[in-house]
Amino acid sequence: MSGSGSVVESSSYYPSGMRFGESAAKLNNSVQPYRHTGLEMQEMHGLNWYDNLARFRTVSDGGGFTGVDPHAEKYYSVSPYVYCKGNPVNAIDPDGRLVIFINGNHYGDGGKSKYWNGFDTKVMNRVSDHNSIYKDGSLGGWAPINMPSEGKRESSGYEEGKIDASSIISNITNDKGEITQTIKVISHSMGGAYAKGYVKAILEYAHSIGITIPIIAFEADFAPFEATKQKAVIDPLMGPTYQFNNKNDKIANNENLGSPSGTEQGAKPTTDNDPNKGHSISDFQNQIQNLPAGRYRVENGQIVPLN
């Protein structure tokens, strides 16, 4: 829109990203380079390619990529050039990165997206990563008598991490064995302790095979239960740990990791003082905006946001 509030350009799109029905702008004379799904259109020399960061994508032939998917060996049944598995109406294009969700206590939906009730989708939208796995950080759910201790949850996370480490590292490497992606870890409540063990196992394996650059962009713990018994994992291959509390949380008690300040062990705590917010993961919806936004790449041995 212009300063007077009049519309200067509007567009509609086919699923491939090709425009139709422009109201005021011609296809090759646009005032807005950021178009379909917010990507920049490269029109120089008549290319009409979208800049998808890792690869360019065309619009004239159904929206295929111009280069081979670096993770093509993991999807033999799909063309390495296809966009959204050829179904852009109902699918998104996974970028090979990974978000690991580790739930807290539950009543049967542990290790599933259902536990998060849409919170996971909003997190993945925030970090622009939609490749996810789910872990049950409470070791089976509600157990009022034999609830697993913080130490038991951490050690169980560590054992599970040892099992998963190889496949997780494979998921973020190309066919040359080079790290090309990063991992994000999201935990809630009892899942916080499990996450610490899980992360330690992943990093231990990474060190053992000679990885020297960061692979975990960050860990974010929402209302970690028994927080004072835990410490953020500090490792050269890992980014920061973020902690999100609600002041009126009667279960996690607004405690910070490791110490009253939570900073001595590397955690970065944020507390919402809204008296109506408690311990449920749904009470942290407004704190998703405090997560680092965008995707990440590894550059010169450091984790760098792409956007």
Domain ranges in the chain are 1-93, 98-305
The confidence score (pLDDT) of residue 1 equals 43
Walking along the chain (307 residues) 10 residues at a time, the average pLDDT comes out as 60 69 53 65 70 65 65 59 61 63 93 94 87 91 73 95 92 76 93 97 96 91 94 91 95 82 65 94 94 68 58
* Rounded alpha-carbon distances, angstroms, from residue 248 to 223, 273, 275: 11, 7, 6
The confidence score (pLDDT) of residue 4 equals 58
The confidence score (pLDDT) of residue 116 equals 96
Burial (Cβ within 10 Å: 0-12, 13-18, ≥19) of residue 305: middle
The confidence score (pLDDT) of residue 107 equals 87
- CB atoms closer than 10 angstroms to residue 135: 21
pLDDT tens profile 52-86: 655 677 776 566 776 666 555 555 556 766 666 56
The confidence score (pLDDT) of residue 267 equals 75
Q: Rounded to an integer, what distance in angstroms lies between the CA atom of residue 115 and that of residue 101?
A: 10
Structure tokens at 299: 């550059």
Structure tokens at 135: 């872990």
Could you tell me how far CA 71 lies from the centroid of its own chain?
18
The confidence score (pLDDT) of residue 158 equals 97
The confidence score (pLDDT) of residue 197 equals 97
The confidence score (pLDDT) of residue 170 equals 85
Helix H or strand E encompassing 207: helix 191-208
Q: Specify the CATH class of 98-305 in words.
A: alpha beta
Structure tokens at 31: 């005032």
Q: For the chain, what's the residue count?
A: 307
Beta bridge partners of 173: 179
| Residue at token pair 């993991």 | 74
pTM (2 decimals)? 0.68
Q: Rounded to an integer, what distance in angstroms lies between the CA atom of residue 24 and that of residue 255?
A: 55
* Contacts by 68-72, CB closer than 8 A, 24 or more apart: 70/96, 70/174, 70/175, 70/180, 71/96, 71/171, 71/174
